[in-house]
Structure 1
Amino acid sequence: MLLLYNLGLRIYYTLILLFSAFNSKARLWITGRQHVKYTAFNQSVWFHFASLGEFEQGRPVLERFRAMQSQSKIVVTFFSPSGYEIRKNTPLADAVYYLPLDTAQNAQEFINTVNPALAIFTKYEYWYHFFNELNKRRIPLYIISGIFRPEQVFFKWYGGLHRKMLSFVSHFFVQDEESKHLLQSLNINNVSVSGDTRFDRVWANAQQPKDLSAISGFKDGQKLFIAGSTWPADERLIAGLITQYPDWKFIIAPHEISEEKINNLTGLLPQNAAQRYSKLTAQNPPLTTQVLIIDNIGMLSSLYQYADIAFIGGGFGAGIHNTLEAAAVGLPVIFGPNYNKFKEAKDLIKLGAGFSVSDEAGLKKVVADLIGNETHYAAATNKAKTYVAEHTGATDAIVNYIAYS
């Protein structure tokens, strides 16, 4: 199985290399891993994140370590360009790198150089050679905000190598009881149900949101519908709401903000209904249209405070994006049908604070029900906010365990 794993990684690398000729993300993935000189440390704390979402998820633990161990060097790695390119200059780390391809040689060289005293991986990403090397050197490895499902490879007859990876982990901090029981079914008992550190992150942000006066001016006392991290399939649905609710304002924050994507989005909207907003042009011109398109990364969590209803994108593709940022400020959240891998989305639906739609008619019905029933709307907002508040505390559980183990 290890031979197949190594072969699969080589094939994956070759495919990314081929795609890099015409795909900017693939090109960054390749070039970011070439000719890198890693800084040698006497000892470090190594945090790995798959991408930007996992960085924000694990950030409360990273911040706590930075505060508690100010003399320790912190190394952060990313698998994806969407994490590295945005957070490569984070002050929370002494060094930030792309994770090298998972080969035995790369794992040995990387760990030799950064010399971690412990390693913390957020949610997922299991790399055999890195985990094996940490285990051979008896360097503690922790998985935080882990989530497991029966359909994952660990629980299949052919998942022996991946089960071996689990055996290299010192302790799992998982989000729910189901994950704990699944691990225990493999005789893995070094597990704590600590919850999801995302709750701590979004709740802290919601208590001290950044003031965006331009957005307040754009809203101008009107109701505001915000669509965050959208893809084209989401945007086609949302476009139908704009003419139906001319007295509402709309903010759309696409997941991808290339000129082509922004132009395609603009083409879906009523003529002259939208203008773009960038941090760099926040003072120009007055935001007077019905629709605002956000053409930069990093504002979304601060935008939700101004909204009345939120739509979260991704549910017509690989899976929905972050619903908790919107729920933390008390917004009813709407999303597409692909949400089953996301516990918080299922929880919000059960509470009546989350709503899944599969087409434009479904979206219009949910919005009409929320707008037309003040009691229903008030209950949804209260339940969304309460849900997030009641699920904070994972960071304390994780840091206290690691610090005193």
Structure 2
Amino acid sequence: MRQFWTSVYNTFFPVFLLIVRLVSLFLPKVKATLDGRRHLFADLEAKLKQLPQDHHPRLWIHASSVGEFEQARPVIAAYRKHAPDAFVAVTFLSVSGYEAKKNSPDTNLVCYLPVDTPANATRFVSMLRPDVLILMRYDFWLNHLLEARCQGATLILASAVLAPNAAYLRPVIKSFYRVIFTLFDKVFTLTEADAVRYRASFGLKDVEVGGDPRFDQVVQRSRNRAKVQHLQKHYEGRKVLVAGSSWKIDESMILPAFKSVQAENDSLILVPHEIRNENILRLEDDLNRAGFTFEKISSLSASFTADKVLIIDQIGYLAELYSLASIAYIGGGFGVNVHNTLEAAVYGIPVIYGPNIKKSLEAKELAALGGATIVHNENDLQAILKKFFTDEKARKASGEIAGRYVAERTGATEKILEYLLALGLHHSSSLRR
């Protein structure tokens, strides 16, 4: 069956590639994806020449984009502590992932994954010479997986999900993905339900619930509050609403809702998603019209008091700012999708966001448990803010649920790390089959 599907895949892949090239004439993002790979092998060869060639073990991590890489980051950091001299390569499918993380610390090499032809796969894997490939969540390219296995690498699928209605489970497609999934030596799933479906649907034996390493990352990051240390004195003893990654539509509801419930000891910190000058000027106009006084973090005065709204017009503050919050509002829920909810929930505070959460499992689960509240309009937001600002018991109860949600899901990094170390992936000798 593997040979059959490999033949079918490589027969139709050139047709797929031709369609992608035609589409790239009209879609800049697709064109950028292809253009980024134009000199891939020449660039890779130049980069590898600058690195020691005897580095072992050799770990290759593939992530489709930024989100999947964020799942891998705590694994890479933890592994580095055990194998500081190891070679760690990260590949991306997307332009956004590569551009955002091409200078990532703890890695020796970051590059695009080549177009998935047999020749490219053979050349690429021969250059990387991985002992282990960890594929995060999804993004399965048959030729590269086959070649990695053929050249002796151990294959691990981490943070794997398999919904009951997944395309992988449809007739015919299921047969193809059975070939894909049986290439992996180990599968770490996100949940027990995912593990059950992988075993039952594809006959996989070495499947274990691993969880999501991002939970470990947000816990680790929550311990670092140096960036906001100078602000703590201003907000001690106050009830603080931090609106993180807010867009104009979020702010159009936040400002009047907060104004209507604000008491003497209540504070607002706004962290707009877009910090370009024109957006900050627009936000300042909105604050003036709503009757707020404010200051910006970039020009904070010595006389600043927390009675004023604080605008964060610089990057790098948000995750730590939630440590000052009593309540968090997360933007994006009235746009494409809500932004990161875990960065706030880790501090044990109630979380509020709009209804567009279909791409965020944790946003759905937090709301179902009571650790988060979904609002649909300004009236909803005003009501929940009034409740949380005036009812300490309700605020703490919701916050405790949010904090517990994160705490109970940590440990994925340790499970994956233990498996790597059991393979001998902290020793200098090659681990190839």
Task: Give the TM-score, by structure 2 length.
Answer: 0.80
Find the structure with the greater CA-based Rg.
Answer: 2
Match of 1:326, SS?
A: helix
- AA aligned opposite 1:244: S
Asked if residue 323 in structure 1 is aligned to residue 341 in structure 2, the reply is yes
Match of 1:339, SS?
A: coil
Alignment deviations for residues 285-307 of structure 1 (CA, whole Å, 9 cap, x no partner): 87668444434443321111111
- 1:317, CA displacement in angstroms? 4.2
Q: Distance in 2 between matches of 1:27 and 1:369?
A: 49
Q: Distance in 2 between matches of 1:267 and 1:152?
A: 47
Aligned-pair identity in percent equals: 34
Aligned 1:240-279 pairs, distance under 5 A = 240-247=256-263, 248-258=266-276, 262=280, 269-271=287-289, 276-277=296-297
- Alignment match of 2:219 (pick from 186, 200, 203): 203
Alignment deviations for residues 213-239 of structure 1 (CA, whole Å, 9 cap, x no partner): 454366475432222234454344334
- Alignment match of 1:47 (pick from 61, 83, 88): 61
Distance 1:192 1:239, change over 3 A: same
Q: Distance in 1 between matches of 2:123 and 2:137?
A: 25
- 1:76, CA displacement in angstroms? 1.7
- AA aligned opposite 1:193: V
- Which ranges of structure 2 fall in alignment gaps of 5 or more residues? 1-7, 424-433
- Alignment match of 1:227 (pick from 221, 229, 243): 243
Find the counterpart in structure 2 of residue 11 from structure 1. 19
- AA aligned opposite 2:416: I
Q: Which moved more, 1:256-265 or 1:196-205?
A: 256-265
Find the counterpart in structure 1 of residue 124 from structure 2. 110
- AA aligned opposite 1:369: K
Q: Which moved more, 1:55-64 or 1:311-320?
A: 311-320
- AA aligned opposite 2:37: R
Q: Distance in 2 between matches of 1:13 and 1:254?
A: 36
Find the counterpart in structure 2 of residue 365 from structure 1. 383
Alignment deviations for residues 123-142 of structure 1 (CA, whole Å, 9 cap, x no partner): 23222332232233342221
Aligned 1:26-37 pairs, distance under 5 A = 29=33, 32-36=36-40, 37=43
Distance 1:282 1:99, change over 3 A: farther
Distance 1:297 1:49, change over 3 A: farther
Q: Distance in 2 between matches of 1:285 and 1:363?
A: 33
Q: Distance in 2 between matches of 1:207 and 1:328?
A: 10
- 1:186, CA displacement in angstroms? 2.6
- 1:154, CA displacement in angstroms? 0.8
Q: Distance in 2 between matches of 1:215 and 1:9?
A: 53
CA-based RMSD: 3.1
Distance 1:175 1:376, change over 3 A: same
Asked if residue 179 in structure 1 is aligned to residue 165 in structure 2, the reply is no
- Which ranges of structure 1 fall in alignment gaps of 5 or more residues? none
- 1:179, CA displacement in angstroms? 0.8
- 1:171, CA displacement in angstroms? 1.5
Match of 1:229, SS?
A: strand
Q: Which moved more, 1:147-156 or 1:99-108?
A: 99-108
Q: Which moved more, 1:285-294 or 1:339-348?
A: 285-294
Q: Distance in 1 between matches of 2:260 and 2:111?
A: 47
Q: Distance in 1 between matches of 2:299 and 2:393?
A: 36
Q: Distance in 1 between matches of 2:270 and 2:355?
A: 19
Contact 1:214 1:287 in 2 (8 A): no
Contact 2:224 2:320 in 1 (8 A): no
Contact 2:271 2:312 in 1 (8 A): yes
Find the counterpart in structure 2 of residue 170 from structure 1. 185
Asked if residue 125 in structure 1 is aligned to residue 131 in structure 2, the reply is no
Q: Distance in 2 between matches of 1:253 and 1:302?
A: 12
Q: Distance in 2 between matches of 1:49 and 1:76?
A: 7
- AA aligned opposite 1:357: V
- AA aligned opposite 1:152: A
Task: Give the TM-score, by structure 1 length.
Answer: 0.85
Q: Which moved more, 1:207-216 or 1:371-380?
A: 207-216
Asked if residue 394 in structure 1 is aligned to residue 409 in structure 2, the reply is no
Match of 1:65, SS?
A: helix
Q: Which moved more, 1:59-68 or 1:25-34?
A: 25-34
- Alignment match of 1:62 (pick from 61, 76, 81): 76
Q: How many pairs align?
A: 398
Contact 1:153 1:162 in 2 (8 A): no
- AA aligned opposite 1:141: L
- 1:274, CA displacement in angstroms? 5.3
Asked if residue 356 in structure 1 is aligned to residue 374 in structure 2, the reply is yes
Q: Distance in 1 between matches of 2:126 and 2:24?
A: 27
Contact 2:261 2:382 in 1 (8 A): no
- Alignment match of 1:306 (pick from 320, 324, 333): 324
Contact 2:20 2:30 in 1 (8 A): no
Match of 1:157, SS?
A: coil
- 1:400, CA displacement in angstroms? 0.9
